[in-house]
């Protein structure tokens, strides 16, 4: 009985994950969307700030992670 409940919970968790497909974007799309260079995106992947996902030769990024790589800045003040 407890095993059946556990198995049902696992199936429900797997089904929930499958219902919401992840969205990915290419390095070029991420760079143009955020206004930075492709080289900057590649540097952030190399630094470990961004996580890249590979399928064969194709590399994709999670747009949410790309957005989270940007950090808020305090109010900008002129120093001149």
Which one-letter DSSP state was computed for residue 35? Answer: T
Q: What confidence category does residue 79 fall into, taking pLDDT thresholds of 50, 70 and 90?
A: low
Judge whether 2 lies within some domain: no
Judge whether 7 lies within some domain: no
Which residue in 61, 53, 78 sits closest to 25, CA to CA?
Answer: 61
Judge whether 51 lies within some domain: yes
Which pTM value belongs to this model? 0.67
pLDDT of residue 74: 84
In this predicted model, what pLDDT tens digit does every residue of 18-63 receive, in sequence order? 677 889 999 999 999 999 999 999 999 999 999 999 999 999 999 9
pLDDT of residue 7: 57
* Residue 45 CB burial class (10 angstroms; 0-12, 13-18, ≥19): middle
CA 12, 63, 40: angle at the middle one, nearest 5? 145
Higher pLDDT pick, 77 / 11:
77
Judge whether 9 lies within some domain: no
């Amino acid at each position: 009985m407890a095993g059946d409940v556990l198995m049902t919970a696992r199936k429900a968790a797997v089904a929930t994950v499958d219902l919401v497909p992840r969205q990915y974007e290419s390095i070029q799309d991420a760079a143009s969307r955020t206004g930075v260079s492709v080289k900057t995106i590649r540097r952030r992947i190399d630094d470990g700030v961004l996580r890249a996902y590979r399928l064969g030769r194709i590399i994709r990024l999670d747009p949410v992670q790309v957005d989270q790589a940007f950090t808020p800045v305090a109010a900008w003040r002129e120093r001149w």
